[in-house]
Structure 1
Amino acid sequence: MDLLSSADALWRAATYLSVAQLHLRANPLSTRPFRLCEVKQRPSGHWGTVPGIAWALAHVGLAAGRCPDEEIIPVIGAGHAGIVQRALAWMTGDLGKADSRFGRDIAGLTALVASFPDGYGLGSEVHPALPAGAYMGGWLGGALAFAQGMALDEPSRVVIPIVGDGECETPTTAASWLAQRAIPAARVLPVVHLNGHRMGGPSLLGAMNDGQLVAYACGLGWEPAIAHVGTGSLAEHAAFHEALVDGIDAARRGERRLVFLRCVKGWSGPIGAHKTPLTDLATNPHQRLQLREWMSSYQPHELFGDDAQPAGVLASALNEIRLCRPQPAEPPVIPAAAPTGRGFSTEVAAVLGAHAASGDFKIFSPDELRSNRLGDLAGEPWVHEVLAEEVLLGWLAGWIASGRRGVLISYEAFAPLLLTGLVGHLKQRRLVNVRLPSINLLLTSYGWHNVYTHGDPSLVTALLGTGDPAVHVFTPADADRAALALDDALRSTGQVNVIIAGKHSTPSHPSETMDCERRHGLAIWNHLSDPGEPDLTLVCAGDLAAAIVSEAVEPIRERHRCRLRVVNVHDLASLAGPAIGRCIREQTPVLVVTLGHPAAIRGLLAGRVRDLDVVGWREPPHPMSQDGVAAYAGLDLAGITRAAAALLANRGR
């Protein structure tokens, strides 16, 4: 079958079915004039991106189908393109495999159009379990960085991110063009869907003429091709496919190519709208006639039989396309970490080196490894540094999407930049059954030891606030525990792990409870606790917290003649789980000492402790010394003993 005819049939079918999903409840093949009950009274969804995305996916799928020995993987940046993805997934039969209600017949097609935008739980956005849904990120602007991470160290893989001109205005995408220089072996061919608009107005790229576009791309180190599309002619199909295939060949050679797909937003429709162009179908018969004429322009009678089965050229084209995603590899066997008591730098570097020896491991860091006391790793081939947190998260997410493991190492103060991406990743992970390696963050420099501008534990507070059981926040009490937490995180699957481990020297603590802490997330430290039920429970979460609580135990015990229990929290998420009942009693006053926001702890313990106080990060009003910050927040000996005295004074009331 002629490739251009196949591409045209795929484009027309995907676009037609997208229009049907937006506007129809029934009569999906438009076999008769639309009755009132067959149209949606309040159409909801996004039309503007549909024609261009359908065009790009049709050609990428055909190019991939002609390269069976190589992975050519599309990555869709625009979540609104989910409507096109659903249309293609219905045609290929993948949607019916996911949900039998969407079988490839007239009943399944009717269910497809009637269920949009809810889709029986599939939703309206790009879905990670469907073809072309490889982007396990879900945040606007991250698709190019994700594609770069997925393409790393895979010589038989070319990843094709389809990004919009609006996305190109986001910081992540803007930084990703330049960041490609740091990972030249990543075979990526971006397709920029240049339809002239972001959501509400003209895009900045769309205002450039072709010469300016070429200069812009070349200035960033990319060689562009520009394909103009707008009539749907076979000549336009030929020009775009030639640019795409040439770009794939260039990417295989390690060259930085990109393709601008230049079109009008919503072309082939009645108006170039961002959302649904026909919004008054219920009361306007003229719009219903307009809709039928619009849908007829795609000639559905050539594409589908009476039973809605793909027919003719479309049926042949569906046998040719391949919209694949990477298949996760089996994790390697790595010897377990063995703490040696040699301090943070040595312990953590040893764990990272052991995992790197397996060959499927990467470190991503914003040019801070030396500052984070891990400078000896900076020159390793499995370490990538670039000063853009969001790009690094995209690289990490793309890297692990094919079953490989990694960690992002940064400062606590900069980590809130990652929040949108991490929450988007969590949302996507809930929708797939494959347990991929975890997203891991090692935050080695927190506000207590930093300057005024470098104190912000907001990321942990927000992640814990999601209540997602995949979130784990490790607060190791010393370097040995930090190494074990990192090793456990790197071996885990399906989680988002944040490890808060200071790079500065802190006291070591007895190892007897380490296994319990790792298994349950917390444990009673018997060496600091009195036998029997306590008058006060002291809970520490983090190395500084463990050090100050250890120092405060004896003064509190002597002054108040009380029984104390000390509990070390290794994973803050355990405070929301059943394991807490082993250590903390509802009727016993509890003082929690934490590195982060007290509000995060109060949220985890709400309703589970009757008399609670939390000492943690308190935003200083102006620059202070390290000791001054601790005193201001109450995270010093005087502050802890004062808070304990207040709780103990309430006994018996």
Structure 2
Amino acid sequence: MDTNIVHSPLDGDAIKQAAQSISSDEMTLLDRYWRAANYLSVGQIYLMGNPLLREPLKFEDTKPRLLGHWGTTPGLNFIYAHLNRIIVRDDCKVLYICGPGHGGPGMVANTYLEGSYSEIYPEVGEDLAGLKSLMKQFSFPGGIPSHAAPETPGSIHEGGELGYALLHAYGAAFDNPDLVVAAVVGDGEAETGPLAASWFSNKFLNPVRDGAVLPILHCNGYKIANPTLFGRMEEGELRSLFEGYGYDPIFVSGDDPAVMHPLMAATLDACFARIRQIQKDARESGKAGEPRWPMIVLKSPKGWTGPKEVNGKKVEGFWRAHQVPITDTRTKADSLKLLEEWMKSYHPEELFGEDGRLLPELKALAPKGDKRMGALPEANGGLLRRDLDMPDFRDYAVAVPRPGGSTAEATRELGKFLRDVMKRNEAHKNFRIMGPDETASNRLDAVFQETDRVWIEKRESFDESLGENGRVMEVLSEHLCQGWLEGYLLTGRHGFFSTYEAFIHIVDSMFNQHAKWLKITRDLEWRKPIASLNYLLTSHVWRQDHNGFTHQDPGFIDHVINKKADIVRVYLPADANSLLWVADHCLTTWDRINVIVAGKQPAPQWLTMEQAEKHCQAGIGVWDWASNDEDGEPDLVMACAGDVPTLEALAAVDILRKYMPELKIRVVNVVDLMTLQSHGEHPHGLTDMAFDALFTRNKPVIFAFHGYPWLIHRLTYRRANHNNIHVRGYKEEGTTTTPFDMVVLNDLDRFHLALDAIDRLPGWRNQSGSAVEYCEAKLKEHKAYVHEHGEDMPEINGWGWPYGTAARTGD
């Protein structure tokens, strides 16, 4: 077989002919099912009583606040009903991704009709009382949101932000060979940057071992108040666009249900047949080939089947259908009457029995058991999650004969560990690494000893580490990496996302949405825990001296800490052994977002593996080997968090001890940033007593911090000694310069730290003159040296911790 064969385009005329042969009785039943979903969707937006209109509609039957979105919903219901038909006929697994942001009424209505909703929420039963509860709870205080939220069965994609539906779909399909993901993309959503890039995801889908994604671009022509670009594009232009992306588009267009139902049925028949053929060819040959996957462009009116006009103004097929087409239903009789006519146009007496249940012949159209899209295990990924088979991180330990006595690249050591995580879990195919073209740049390239980068497209003979079966996913888009990983995690698998620290901000809002999803699912017993989302931020601010100011920004951790305390963790390991412990820990957690910040450049190593374990488990502690307070009361606390700040803090301690040998200094290192918060605000936070034991209640604290200084003040403002805490960190000073000059520009260097300490020790000024002179002279010498030689002074590059021969840490 020629594995590069491109399947011929799906024949639109043949599909139309096939539509004519589809049973009209089958389509009549399916149309009634669709009407039932539409009826329940309208009822959720408007009603809080009289759910089947068994009595004339009254003002008090409607909600005082009308919230929800109708415009996209009938199209979503249409797709759902037709997917049900395929699932029942073929006994296949289909995951529904609802991209249009506020399609909540439809998703809730359909999961209610199939029975999965009432199984999870028995208080919303399949009877008249349940219908009333279903309608009242929607966008109502104490009820449910207006979008496809975590509370919605079958959902792994929340409509709180647009642009990521297709990414979640592909993430779900990777390593899920029996799954088809129907990804509905709204034409408004399709205008976003992330969604525009998402179409390239088909280049990473391997039909040998992955599932399939069926994109359905839902073109109803309008956003909130404007036409959509896709809605105004001619069919030929759209076809060329998607063929250019590598898809085989089929168009389903119209507004007459009698035509649209058989056309959609025949189209889905053709799409699923094409998917099965692509997978069969690939799995028999063992080669991915270069398939042209099918997709659907569904063109239907916005607000389809709703009121044509309201108050003489166009609604159906226009932006006025987007949210609530009829307002004032509690105060205006004409509006109430129009609503009643609209809802009765669906003929609820043909859909529901006297007891409020969906009629049996319609109920029979829904799939059964866990084949229902609302009950699909993949949509509740924690049901499928299995722990990773982890190697022993201790086996990768860097030898540290004494503090600073060896040098290593922390992330390079981590790469060896991740390589073996990949190896031990290859059989389960449940672990992937994501990154924007930076796995090797970030020194994780040991993983390529075990696997390749995923690459389905053409490969040249001189390409390196590219393969169809690779498990490292690289594309120059943080959006794609994040979205794929979320979809992968939400369907029960594990992953790791490595990127440059400065550019993780690109996915700030995606992080927001995932954190909110996790926060809500914590309170949903039926949602089982999923693996944590793990970030490694490297090539960080203090070693982006070669790229310059554009690549220097440590502020993502500020953004992260705004989230609910039990969801987020931030780790700043100071060396390779600490990083190995942290990575192992993060990969074995669930329902969290873990942010690890670690450098990739050669750096001194401080702790043996045994010491790193003890220190990282506590998250914070005194480094006795660097301190000389001898378990007594210190005169000064030198604190540090992050690899470069730790180096500079220790070098500052060296200066102070040389020039002020009687000064008692305590060195406190922070790995887990959340320990600085009070115990009442974060589960990892120190009690006040424990915090005071480390930082004292009245001694000066000089804190060398990886990020923006005010974050430390945010975390510690309630502590007794907060007024004595002075923080040095990044203050938006940067350029292309030497590594040490970067810390000097931001006053984080050893000389500024020592001077800061002296400034806060008024009782020691008579003994500090030589130290001040030394530091000020060295700063001048540094500036002149780097400007002349273009590199740091040898004494900076060659500095090492001069005290002691064996590292030890405090409890």
TM-score category (smaller protein):
over 0.9
Q: Is the 8 A contact 1:182 1:386 kept in 2?
A: no
1:261 match: 298
Q: Is the 8 A contact 1:33 1:289 kept in 2?
A: no
Displacement of 1:112: 1.9
- Which residue identity does 1:21 align to in structure 2? Q
- For 1:357-436, list aligned pairs within 5 A: 357=423, 358-359=425-426, 360-377=430-447, 379-380=452-453, 381-432=470-521, 433-436=527-530
Paired residue secondary structure (2:602):
coil
Give CA deviations for 1:64-95 in whole Å, capped at 9, x if unaligned.
Answer: 23333x42111111231112122223333333
Q: Is the 8 A contact 1:348 1:482 kept in 2?
A: yes
1:12 match: 35
Displacement of 1:527: 0.9
Q: Is the 8 A contact 1:137 1:421 kept in 2?
A: no
Residue 630 of structure 1: which of 726, 731, 743 is its match?
Answer: 743
1:231 match: 256
Q: Is the 8 A contact 1:62 1:322 kept in 2?
A: no
Displacement of 1:477: 0.3
Paired residue secondary structure (1:130):
coil
- Which residue identity does 1:647 align to in structure 2? R
**What is the TM-score normalised by the length of structure 1?**
0.94
Aligned-partner Cα distance in 1 for 2:103–2:158: 15
2:384 match: 328
> Do the aligned partners of residues 394 and 137 (structure 1) sit closer, same or farther apart at CA in structure 2, a change above 3 Å counting?
farther
Displacement of 1:443: 1.4
Moved more, 384-393 or 87-96: 87-96
- Which residue identity does 2:39 align to in structure 1? Y
| 1:296 has 2:344 as partner | yes
> Do the aligned partners of residues 44 and 346 (structure 1) sit closer, same or farther apart at CA in structure 2, a change above 3 Å counting?
closer
2:670 match: 569
- For 1:193-592, list aligned pairs within 5 A: 193-233=218-258, 235-252=259-276, 253-254=278-279, 255=291, 256-270=293-307, 271-272=315-316, 273-318=321-366, 322-323=372-373, 324-326=376-378, 327-338=383-394, 339-341=396-398, 343-357=409-423, 358-359=425-426, 360-377=430-447, 379-380=452-453, 381-432=470-521, 433-450=527-544, 451-511=548-608, 512-529=610-627, 530=629, 531-557=631-657, 559=659, 561-578=662-679, 579-581=685-687, 582=690, 583-592=694-703
1:111 match: 133
Moved more, 615-624 or 362-371: 615-624
1:40 match: 63
> Do the aligned partners of residues 523 and 464 (structure 1) sit closer, same or farther apart at CA in structure 2, a change above 3 Å counting?
same
Displacement of 1:189: 0.6
Q: Percent identity?
A: 32
Displacement of 1:328: 1.6
> Do the aligned partners of residues 337 and 428 (structure 1) sit closer, same or farther apart at CA in structure 2, a change above 3 Å counting?
same
- Which residue identity does 2:274 align to in structure 1? A
- Which residue identity does 1:59 align to in structure 2? H
Q: Is the 8 A contact 2:416 2:447 kept in 1?
A: no
Matched residues, number: 649
1:616 match: 729
> Do the aligned partners of residues 517 and 249 (structure 1) sit closer, same or farther apart at CA in structure 2, a change above 3 Å counting?
farther
Give CA deviations for 1:380-416 in whole Å, capped at 9, x if unaligned.
Answer: 5111111110111011111112221111111001100
Displacement of 1:650: 9.1
Aligned-partner Cα distance in 1 for 2:708–2:266: 55
| 1:140 has 2:162 as partner | yes
Aligned-partner Cα distance in 2 for 1:30–1:418: 46
Contiguous gaps of at least 5 residues in structure 1: none
Aligned-partner Cα distance in 2 for 1:395–1:599: 33
Moved more, 624-633 or 360-369: 624-633
Aligned-partner Cα distance in 2 for 1:415–1:245: 41
Paired residue secondary structure (2:154):
coil
- Which residue identity does 2:623 align to in structure 1? W
Paired residue secondary structure (1:403):
coil
Q: Is the 8 A contact 2:416 2:444 kept in 1?
A: no
Displacement of 1:586: 4.1
Aligned-partner Cα distance in 1 for 2:300–2:508: 33
Displacement of 1:492: 1.5
Q: Is the 8 A contact 1:133 1:325 kept in 2?
A: no
Give CA deviations for 1:243-281 in whole Å, capped at 9, x if unaligned.
Answer: 123223323425421111111111111123111011111
Residue 189 of structure 1: which of 189, 192, 214 is its match?
Answer: 214
1:595 match: 706
Paired residue secondary structure (1:307):
coil
Displacement of 1:288: 0.8
Aligned-partner Cα distance in 2 for 1:438–1:229: 44
Moved more, 124-133 or 581-590: 581-590
> Do the aligned partners of residues 346 and 463 (structure 1) sit closer, same or farther apart at CA in structure 2, a change above 3 Å counting?
closer
Q: Is the 8 A contact 2:549 2:735 kept in 1?
A: yes
2:287 match: none
Contiguous gaps of at least 5 residues in structure 2: 1-22, 280-290, 308-314, 399-407, 454-469, 522-526, 680-684, 765-811
Aligned-partner Cα distance in 2 for 1:217–1:14: 31
Residue 165 of structure 1: which of 175, 178, 187 is its match?
Answer: 187
> Do the aligned partners of residues 33 and 137 (structure 1) sit closer, same or farther apart at CA in structure 2, a change above 3 Å counting?
closer
Aligned-partner Cα distance in 1 for 2:363–2:141: 25
> Do the aligned partners of residues 573 and 241 (structure 1) sit closer, same or farther apart at CA in structure 2, a change above 3 Å counting?
farther
> Do the aligned partners of residues 503 and 535 (structure 1) sit closer, same or farther apart at CA in structure 2, a change above 3 Å counting?
same
Q: Is the 8 A contact 2:442 2:600 kept in 1?
A: yes
> Do the aligned partners of residues 522 and 136 (structure 1) sit closer, same or farther apart at CA in structure 2, a change above 3 Å counting?
farther
Displacement of 1:438: 0.8
Give CA deviations for 1:454-473 in whole Å, capped at 9, x if unaligned.
Answer: 01122111011224322111
Aligned-partner Cα distance in 2 for 1:407–1:596: 22
- Which residue identity does 1:484 align to in structure 2? W
- Which residue identity does 2:706 align to in structure 1? L
Q: Is the 8 A contact 1:137 1:425 kept in 2?
A: no
Give CA deviations for 1:317-342 in whole Å, capped at 9, x if unaligned.
Answer: 23557202414232243222124215
1:61 match: 84
